[in-house]
Amino acid sequence: MEPLQPMAENIARFLRERGETVAICETTAGGLVSAALLSIPGASRYYAGAAVTYTGVARSTFLEIELEDYPGVRSSSEPYAQIIANTIRERLGATWGIGETGAAGPGGNVYGDASGHTCIAISGPTEYVETLETGLEDREENMWLFTKRTLEVFESVLRGSSSEES
């Protein structure tokens, strides 16, 4: 696995130079996206905060999101990733919001998504959402791959290009 530090440093530099902030809501990455960004000295200048909403109770408590308010939306989907990215950004007053939600494994999730499935959304001056399928059952490896891709997507959005060019 490539080190995450160079991406986190680039993201931190972009945010500091622009005077922007980021708030993060992670589920299956388990806080690793936040840890990567917090590992950079001076993170308090750009890191607004985060929530790891791995359970419905955490989602309800920290984000005050009830899925019945969003008919047809379920966890581990692109629309849900966008909802959590928007919500965490708004609740923490950040320029950017990142949402990540999926199934790390093993065995997939209750919605029928295979292990290695995650949806990543960026909310802010630019909106973006994508789904990643690793095809792997290894929980820890998936968590690191979800984190890496989330950082890649956010760095790409910050650079002003589509993540498909990453």
> Long-range contact list for 54-58, CB < 8 A, 24+ apart?
54/27, 54/28, 54/30
**DSSP symbol at 58:** H
pLDDT digits (tens, 9 = 90+) for 55-107: 999 999 999 999 999 999 999 999 999 999 999 999 999 999 999 999 999 99
Which pTM was predicted? 0.94
Closest CA to 119 of 150, 164, 78, 166: 78
**11 — phi, psi (to 5°)?**
-60, -45
Paired with 119 in beta bridges are 101, 131
Position 1 pLDDT exceeds 70: no
pLDDT of residue 161: 43
